[in-house]
Amino acid sequence: MNRLFDHEKLEVYQESLAFVTWLEPWLQKLPKSIAVRDQLDRASTSISLNLAEGNGKFTSPDRCRFFDIARGSALECAAALDILVCQGRFELSVVTAGKERLRRIVSMLVGLTRANSDYRLHETSDD
């Protein structure tokens, strides 16, 4: 893919598109009438859109605000996948690959936020 915009160069943006690509066939199997389907579709789209918009902002606080929204949307997607498992619409083995992509996306977004933020508290990991 020819990358014309700065956000397209971000690994996390590429991973968010990979998640949407992974998700689409599963969304097509769900009835359009269930609420979680629509919510999952909108939240997965929100990740990429907020990454693009945030990366185009000029100030760190503006960038971080959009990266935070993208992270929240990724977490929302993970919860929606859990709900689909609880509802018996998907097996846990099906959603595991998507949740792993979302875990990587959240991790990269935390890193982007830290890199763009000198005013936020940084948690340290004891891992």
- Tens of pLDDT, residue by residue over 104-119, are 999 999 999 999 887 5
| Span 50-60, pLDDT tens digits | 999 999 999 99
Sign of the alpha-carbon torsion through 68, 72, 73, 77: positive
Q: What would the mean pLDDT of 72-85 be, rounded to a whole number?
A: 98
Q: What is the CATH number of domain 8-115?
A: 1.20.1440.60
The confidence band for 49, taking pLDDT boundaries of 50, 70 and 90, is very high
- Which pLDDT score, from 0 to 100, does residue 124 have? 53
pLDDT value at residue 119? 58
Q: Write down the domain spans for the chain.
A: 8-115
pLDDT at res. 118: 73
Cα–Cα dist 60/119, whole Å: 9
**Full-model pTM:** 0.88
Q: What angle do CA 45, 111, 6 make, to 5 degrees?
A: 55
Task: Tell me what the mean pLDDT of segment 43-49 comes to.
Answer: 98
